[in-house]
């Protein structure tokens, strides 16, 4: 059972934060009213009371904010409040109104000290909880800072990390699914010498040294089914990126090899394969959800996860989304039910339409061609599919982007 303190502490902070901001907003409203100042006219207030126009604008925003979240971003510093109160005292604001503002500011300072320690940490808490209406949870500003820091720390970055999964019933076994997948890293750059980068890993079972390739096919006809990441060479950069597969314990890891630093070593690596009869369409005991995941462990400017669903699988439309933290080091299946590992996410899943879906994107050159190639190899036509897309700039790492849905019950008989 979760520790109660982990559940109640955020609620205590939020309630105290909102109450302190609302109290300050109310005190400022009374202060303005005591000298007939109009918060809707900051320029007039600035001239009338001899205060900075930007300060008058901020106070007006606070007074007219619909809630604490909309008021908080406009809070000025203590020095600005001192100037405001001095100006209003000169204009005849009663001491009781000024003391009420001072008391509300003290209450706010107590909240900051108790829950955050300083204003900078409070900003992080407000942003992380999604209380800032202009930023929201996992704000792009915070994600970009993390991207820059992670790029420097790990010594590599990519412009795009992408994956598309295409699902359809198997023609010979219609109660089983086929899945075509195309993934890659685009405009990958090393930022320091000697950097290798993992692109994928596979568990080796105790019964075999290599997986059965009976139902796994490279999308490229001349590809080797034994390759863990069969390249789609036409869509890779030239020269073809150098990969190697290494054994580490019970895993084999396919990684990009060392190479030149910076733009001279920039590369794009696209790979794809078909997995036929890879999953049951209907649910079974303990097997309720179907998930399509993109592992995000590379500092990237953009992550893009597409899901193309065959028209005979209406239960899969539209999929839901979760962002699953890999900070604890493993993926618990199904990831969508382990909500304690989920990160807040405000980005929507876009509907790309059907018959066929609109696939063009500014992030990936020749992307419709890649998907067309995979669909044809699957033995299907794009007009049979409905498309969905999740896109996020500067995705947090290490995480999993997960598009999921519930499997249908097996029909009786």
Average pLDDT estimate for 172-189:
95
Q: What is the pLDDT of residues 97-133, one digit of tens each?
A: 999 999 999 999 999 999 989 888 888 888 777 666 5
Q: For the beta carbon of residue 384, count every other beta carbon within 10 angstroms.
A: 18
Q: How far apart are CA 30 and CA 37, in angstroms?
A: 10
Helix (H) or strand (E) run with residue 180 in it: strand 176-190
The residues with which 270 forms a beta bridge, in sequence order, are: 184
> What pLDDT is stored for residue 212 in this prediction?
42
Q: Give the pLDDT confidence score for residue 200 in this predicted structure.
A: 83
**Dihedral sign (CA 129, 134, 140, 145):** negative
Cα-Cα-Cα-Cα dihedral sign, residues 128, 129, 134, 135? positive
Half-sphere exposure of 265 (CA within 13 A, CB side): 19
CB atoms within 10 A of CB 81: 19
Q: What is the mean pLDDT of the chain?
A: 88
Convert the pLDDT of each residue in 15-68 to its tens digit: 899 999 999 999 999 999 999 999 999 999 999 999 999 999 999 999 998 888
For residue 345, name the pLDDT band (cuts at 50, 70, 90): confident
What pTM, to 2 d.p., does this model score?
Answer: 0.78
- Whether residue 375 is predicted with pLDDT greater than 60 in this model: the reply is yes
Q: Which helix (H) or strand (E) holds 199?
A: strand 197-203
Q: Rounded to whole angstroms, how far apart are CA atoms 195 and 192?
A: 7
Does residue 234 surpass a pLDDT of 90? yes
What φ, ψ does residue 193 adopt, rounded to 5°?
-70, 155
Confidence of residue 135 (pLDDT cuts 50, 70, 90): low
> Which residue would you say has higher pLDDT here, 176 or 207?
176
């Amino acid at each position: 059972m979760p520790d109660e303190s982990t559940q109640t502490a955020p609620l205590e902070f939020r309630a105290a934060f909102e109450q302190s901001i609302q109290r300050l907003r109310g005190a400022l409203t009374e202060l303005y009213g005591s000298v007939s100042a109009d918060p809707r006219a900051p320029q007039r207030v600035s001239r009338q009371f001899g205060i900075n126009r930007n300060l008058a604008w901020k106070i007006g925003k606070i007074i007219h904010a619909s809630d604490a979240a909309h008021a908080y971003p406009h809070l000025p510093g203590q020095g600005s409040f001192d100037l405001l109160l001095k100006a209003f005292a000169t204009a005849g604001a009663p001491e009781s109104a000024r003391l009420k503002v001072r008391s509300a500011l003290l209450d706010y300072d107590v909240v900051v000290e108790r829950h955050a320690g300083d204003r900078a940490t409070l900003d992080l808490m407000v942003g992380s909880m999604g209380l800032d209406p202009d930023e929201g949870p996992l704000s792009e500003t915070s994600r970009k800072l993390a991207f820059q820091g992670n790029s420097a720390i790990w010594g590599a970055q990519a412009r795009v990390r992408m994956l598309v999964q295409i699902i359809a019933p198997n023609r010979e076994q219609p109660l089983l699914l086929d899945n075509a997948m195309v993934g890659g890293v685009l405009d990958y750059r090393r930022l320091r010498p000697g950097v290798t980068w993992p692109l994928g890993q596979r568990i080796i079972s105790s019964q075999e040294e290599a997986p059965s390739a009976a139902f796994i096919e490279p999308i490229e006809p001349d590809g080797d089914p034994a390759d863990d990441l069969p390249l789609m060479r036409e869509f890779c950069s030239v020269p073809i990126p150098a990969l190697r597969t290494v054994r580490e314990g019970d895993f084999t890891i396919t990684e990009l090899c060392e190479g030149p630093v910076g733009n001279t070593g920039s590369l794009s690596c696209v790979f794809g394969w078909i997995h036929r009869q890879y999953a049951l369409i209907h649910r079974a005991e303990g097997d309720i959800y179907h998930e399509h995941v993109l592992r995000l462990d590379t500092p990237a400017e953009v992550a893009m996860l597409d899901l193309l669903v065959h028209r005979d699988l209406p239960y899969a439309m539209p999929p839901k989304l979760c962002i699953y933290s890999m900070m604890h080091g493993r993926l618990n299946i199904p990831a969508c039910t382990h909500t304690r590992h989920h990160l807040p996410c405000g980005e929507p899943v876009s509907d790309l339409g059907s018959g066929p879906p609109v696939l063009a994107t500014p992030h990936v050159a020749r992307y419709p061609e890649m998907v067309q190639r995979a669909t044809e190899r699957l033995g299907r036509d794009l007009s049979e599919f409905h498309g969905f897309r999740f896109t996020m700039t500067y995705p947090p790492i290490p995480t999993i982007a997960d598009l999921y849905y519930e499997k249908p019950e097996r029909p009786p008989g």
